[in-house]
A = this chain, B = another copy of it.
Amino acid sequence: MKTSGSDRSVVNVIQYGLGSIGMACARAVAATPGLRLVGAVDVDPEKIGRSLARLLDLPPKGFRGIAVRASLAEAMAGRDAHVAMHTTVSSLGAVVPQIQDCLRAGLAVVSSTEELAFPSRTDPEPARRLDVAAKRARRAAIGTGVNPGFIMDLIPIVASGASLGVRKILVRRVLDAGRRRAPFQKKVGVGMAPADVRRRLAEESMGHVGLLDSALLIAAACGIEIDEVRKSGAPVLATRPMRSALGRVARGKVIGLRQNLSCRRKGREVIRMEMVMVLGAKDPRDESFIDGSPRLHLRWEGGVHGDAATIATLINAIPRALTAPPGLHNILTLPIPRTFSPLLSPQP
């Protein structure tokens, strides 16, 4: 990596948000030739003022004494920055002022906010405000990630590009929760009582929330009309005592979730999303089935690892954020994704 502050071949990145994904993103930025971390923002009083290198547990070389700041203005003071890697919260309403701030400061934005994957669906008004702000600032803002944003929407959409007369698209994600960290296992109810998980699934305070966004992205991309959506979810129970990152799970307790989403038109299923996140799930994989001419069956052996792939999709979106026309973008308006190429120049 080159070190001159005005070198046009290096993209200067502000890390906005230092939660677990943000920390991993910042480490990936630091490790990627062609990218340079020039500042970081977080709200946590425990982090503000701390050396970024020390916080990330990286050698101080290259960080030039960067400290975590409470505001974007402080983080950018005296720095030449090109892009904000925005990783704060999932809710679109909460992130609009943050992303507007980044755009006003002249930064392109890559955001992990799930509701940005297809914002005009969930809530058109904040998305419209962000689009206006981005166009005014002549910068692009992109919401992306691995799910939503890649494995359960972009991939089946791209696969459908080699088929005609598509009657149905089925997307299946089978994850072995035993290979994930403790917070993930907690998120899918490992060790909980079945009744508690059923209640939380019913009130939608548990489980993967992006299935509908992904399904509606597929529908919008492929011109599939939908007049009915059915959601279902259930806990999966241990048939024998099992070990987990959260301790031993007794027989009859929860070891994960199954969630399904069925989109129909005139009573016929046209899009189906299936998600299995269970301790010891057999044959973990991601699959897309395109029922058209020809029929296609795409399979990611072993599945696409959530955390590492999420970081990768975010970092890899940086070149597209720097070269896309001004405005708020999603996967349908951008060129195809690709791994980060250092052979690009940021916008002047």
Alpha-carbon distance A154/B162, docked complex (angstroms): 11
A102 within 8 A of B: no
Contacting residue for A337 out of B158, B166, B292, B342, CB 8 A = B158
Contacts of A313-348 to chain B: CB distance below 8 A: 313, 315-316, 331-344
Q: Which of A12-20, A54-62, A193-201, A297-305 contacts B (4 or more CB under 8 A)?
A: A297-305
C-alpha gap A165/B305 in the complex (Å): 15
**Quick one: copies of this chain in the complex?**
2
**Is there contact, CB below 8 Å, between A158 and B336?**
yes
Q: Is the CB of B162 within 8 A of A309?
A: yes
Whether a CB of chain B sits under 8 angstroms from the CB of A53 is: no
Q: Which of A297, A339, A340 is packed against the most chain B CB atoms within 10 Å?
A: A339
In the complex, chain B residues whose CB is within 8 Å of the CB of A316: 160-162, 164
Q: A296-B304, A336-B332 in contact; A312/B161 too (CB < 8 A)?
A: yes
A294 on the B face (CB < 8 A)? yes
Residues of A within 8 A of B (CB): 28, 31-32, 146, 150-151, 154-155, 157-158, 160-166, 221-223, 290, 292-294, 296-302, 304-305, 308-309, 311-313, 315-316, 331-344
